[in-house]
Amino acid sequence: MAAPSWLSNLSRAFKTHRLGRTGWYLETNRERLRVVSAELPPRPGETTEWAGRRAFTLQTPPGPATSAAALAEACAVFDAVMAGEWNWPDPEAIPATDDPGHLSYAALERLTEQLRAQLVGEQMGESTWQRTWRPYLARLAAAAGERRWAGDPELLGAYLRNWEPNSRARQMAYDRARRLWKEAGWPWPEGLAPLRGNGKAAADPQGVRAFTDEEISGLREAIGRSKLTPADLVAWDALICFGLRPKELQGLELRQAGGAMVAVVNRAKRSSQGSSGARTVPAVPPAGWPADCWGLLARWREHGLPAGLVTMRSPGDLLSRQLRRLHQPDGLTAYGLRHAFALRLGVELHLSVREAAELMGHSPAVHLSTYGRRLDAPKLQDKLAAMVKARAAG
């Protein structure tokens, strides 16, 4: 089997550093990268009569992303051997790589795959894993491969400090690492609690950033002036009137039912917080819109939805890029229309949390945690205004 391109490039760079000196090689073995040469000195206790090549396993994990670090480590080994200053590490000071408690790159990668097999398909989809779990655990495994760590607290502390203190990102890193430790059956160092982070630190104190009715009107006007197609406007109006997730445009059906226009959402959602199946949502347009949402059903039948949008992996990313090209206010994303729909249900129509959550395809707990601040604020203000008025009258 031919060597991967990153290893071929790494070997050429290593050869250049050696100025053409032969007899040195880089190879992968059992998910590790090692330097091979007959010029490596004998191991402790090994007779000098051995004339074959010896191999030294590098701490840097193999792969294209770590090639620069691997090259630096391999060159350092070569230079030290040539200077007569290189010695094999003390085997008493380094735990064996097959020790189940050893914090190695390979061990953490294997654990990560075990955890993925448990979570993907049961609690989340593959895309959720790749987006919100894999990057954190990959960084943890890479940190383990950088050097030999004295123990769990040292590795985990260095890993967590990659993120800002008291941030949501650090909390996510902490939670994912702790879940991996649980998978391995290793005790979690309780002294790491101060490095946990805070999932609420990044939250807007005013609650979610939702489109206002004026901003929705401005968006539709901007679309009309742009090069976007009538099918694009249908997609945006569907998000506005039905509070859809951008991915729910895939497989969407619009129809008339009992005198009202409804959207039949066929795409199920699955995440670590639960799952939702198909649902039917009646149109709830912004105030001042006609009940037919500017003839949305007829426009959907005529133009449909943009084929490129509904087949792509992340429609929300494309829609958010369109918003930026349309010069919409900072901080607004396609999800801002879903947030506006939720507030329309709760603040304007006074639906209960359970009723609104059912229409939006998530649990009441998720609905309350996401929209609670905005839903409670008007009630709180009215309550305080009435109390102040009563106090002044008394």
Q: Do 99 and 107 meet the contact criterion of CB atoms below 8 Å apart? A: no
Q: Do 306 and 232 meet the contact criterion of CB atoms below 8 Å apart? A: yes
Note down pLDDT in tens along the chain; length 394 residues: 567 888 899 999 999 999 888 999 999 876 778 899 989 888 776 665 556 788 888 878 788 878 888 898 899 999 999 988 888 875 444 444 444 445 788 888 888 998 998 888 867 888 888 888 999 999 898 888 877 787 888 889 889 988 888 888 888 999 999 999 988 888 888 888 888 877 554 445 567 889 999 999 999 999 999 999 999 999 999 999 999 999 999 999 999 988 889 999 988 665 544 556 689 999 999 999 999 999 999 999 999 999 888 888 888 889 989 999 999 988 888 999 999 999 999 989 989 889 999 999 988 888 888 888 778 766 666 677 778 878 888 6
Query: Domains in the chain: how many in total?
Result: 3
Q: In this structure, is residue 372 part of a structural domain?
A: yes
What are the tokens at 320? 């958010």
Domain that holds residue 16: 5-82
How far apart are the C-alpha atoms of 93 and 91, rounded to whole Å? 5
How far apart are the C-alpha atoms of 334 and 325, rounded to whole Å? 13
Q: Are residues 235 and 155 in the same domain?
A: no
**Quick count: other Cβ atoms within 10 Å of Cβ 250?**
16
Q: Are residues 171 and 220 in the same domain?
A: no
Q: Are residues 134 and 185 in the same domain?
A: yes
Q: Are residues 321 and 173 in the same domain?
A: no
Q: Are residues 274 and 339 in the same domain?
A: yes
**Which of 141, 164, 195 is a domain's end point?**
195
Q: Are residues 372 and 227 in the same domain?
A: yes
**Which of 24, 47, 82 is a domain's end point?**
82
What are the tokens at 177? 């690492």
Q: Are residues 224 and 318 in the same domain?
A: yes
**Which of 168, 195, 222 is a domain's end point?**
195
Closest CA to 230 of 311, 280, 284, 295: 295
CATH code, domain carrying 281: 1.10.443.30
Res 93: pLDDT:
44
Q: Are residues 164 and 308 in the same domain?
A: no
Q: In this structure, is residue 95 part of a structural domain?
A: no
pTM above 0.75, yes or no: no
Element (H, E) at 254: strand 253-257
Q: In this structure, is residue 275 part of a structural domain?
A: yes
Long-range contacts of 322-331 (CB under 8 A, 24+ apart): 322/228, 322/232, 323/219, 325/226, 326/219, 326/222, 326/223, 326/226, 327/222, 328/215, 328/218, 328/219, 328/222, 329/215, 331/209
Q: Are residues 256 and 376 in the same domain?
A: yes
Q: In this structure, is residue 228 part of a structural domain?
A: yes
Q: Are residues 218 and 259 in the same domain?
A: yes
Q: Are residues 219 and 161 in the same domain?
A: no
